[in-house]
Structure 1
């Protein structure tokens, strides 16, 4: 199956480079991350096109067949075009439909000065702090379950770091990691951002812009990248930060989810 979406294409490149497995079924891809089964967008179906009318519940059933133990459903479609009827049918099947925005930049506008140390993560303590920061953003989920997920996510990214494909930057205030963003090469000349996160107590201080800028400059200057790719919630606050840094909208990315158990309270 040919994937045309830049968002999904870069997603898949990073997943396969960090240990995930992609099975091509012709009409759709099955993406698995065996080491991290609770990673929603590491275990999902990617459809080449929307199902025929009335086939939405069949698609959800196909997910459960492929992932019988999953406490979530994640389905992407390699097109942002979804009729109102299809959207309503997926929502009736229990899914939340989200159309994110994919943005790109070939250079970045300067970020404002911040009262923080901005640098690449270095060593186990930094990466554990990154997992802890993520966990603090989602306190509704049990600490044990979330930290298992976050540490496995770290392990995937660190494999990319070890392969020389990029790194993760953090902003440290009084020695504490409070904002972070990763950048990794997906194909020649292209790099994709991963998981821009900022502690709620440190937002609106320019820290997210600072780490995104630092990661992007690293990609452009050190990794030989010509195009930076980032994905944002279309109606979220972060997209405004990215646009101010010089990113421009290029496409929409269609993603649908259903969460159950303690993960049902997880936002984002």
Structure 2
């Protein structure tokens, strides 16, 4: 698959779940974590068309699952060329959240020193159970998804176990930014041959705008080039984080988009579900 963003998405799915090409779609499932929205989705080979939701939802139920086990619909695809600007209004009226993400990449020669360095933080790998407990609490505290709490906890437990298993297998590491012993930021970096993919850049809300994200990402990227020729970051196009990564030398290389909504087994007639996708990035 030519897309670095989607290729590195599938790195996690292949490790912890199943990836199957069925012709019209690539089907991604994570059987042990049904609450992982973007671990259970259809990867479309072209953007969805207006009015196509009925067929897509039937195929999703067929290939991925349906309530009571799978309580969402999720679709993802690459945005390119004339496909840009596809009409998603019908999907959004049906309660879907539409998101476009920029795929940013960097080579070692492109990496720039951050202008806003936070010299008060210590950047290091998570190692102890105490470190991982702090990571877990930070993720819970800063979650911004409208997913029922019990389901979100199950999702978070599942991805934590996946990341820790990948780390034990030598596939990557998770890094924290510590200030006076407190975890105030974190990010994962995982590898597929000579490509590295960042996961879940997060700064504690009470510590934002202090250069923590710049300092953390730069330090981890610098170390990451010891294992990778190219580093990949996927960021919401409408969020300021993409500008932070660009200031460090990452450049937009492609775009991808997604649609997601909850599915509790009830018919949707246009109401807004307010769901935000539980993406690992």
- 1:160 equivalent to 2:157? Answer no
Change (3 A) 1:4 1:124: same
| Alignment-derived partner of residue 38 in structure 1 | 35
1:8 CA displacement: 0.9
The aligned residue for residue 148 of structure 1 is 154
Q: Report the counterpart of residue 26 of structure 2 in structure 1.
A: 29
Deviation of 1:21 after TM superposition, in Å, equals 0.8
- C-alpha separation between the residues in 2 aligned to 1:211 and 1:143? 29
The answer to whether the 8 A contact 1:138-1:267 is kept is no
TM-score scaled by structure 1?
A: 0.88
- Report how far residue 94 of structure 1 moved: 2.6
Partner in structure 2 of residue 183 of structure 1: 189
The Cα shift of 1:97 comes to 1.6
The 1:4/1:79 distance shift into structure 2, 3 A limit, reads farther
CA deviations 1:64-97 (Å, max 9, x no partner) are: 3332122221101233454656422322333222
- 1:118-137 pair list within 5 angstroms: 118-137=123-142
Q: TM-score when scaled to structure 2?
A: 0.85
CA contact (8 A) 1:57 1:90 kept: no
Structure 1: any 5+ residue segments left out of the alignment? none
Q: Deviations over 1:155-195 (max 9, x none)?
A: 11112111212101111122121110111112x22110001
Q: Map Cα deviations across residues 29-74 of structure 1 (whole Å, 9 max, x no partner).
A: 1111112111111111101113455423211232233321222211
Computed over aligned residues only, the root mean square deviation of the Cα atoms, in angstroms, reads 2.3
- Shift of the alpha carbon at 1:114? 3.0
List alignment gaps of at least 5 residues for structure 2: 265-272
Give the direction of change, closer, same or farther, for the CA distance of 1:164–1:49 in structure 2 (3 Å limit).
same
Deviates more, 1:46-55 or 1:232-241: 46-55
Contact 2:191 2:197 in 1 (8 A): yes
**Equivalent residue of 1:78, what SS?**
strand
Matches within 5 A, 1:13-28: 13-17=11-15, 19-28=16-25
Q: Is 1:195 matched with 2:212?
A: no
Counterparts of 1:56 and 1:267 in 2: how far apart (Å)? 17
Q: State the structure with bigger RCO (CA 8 A, min sep 6), 1 or 2.
A: 2
| 2:123 and 2:219 in contact (8 A); partners too | yes
* Matching residue within 170, 177, 185 for 1:171: 177
Per-residue deviation at 1:203? 0.6
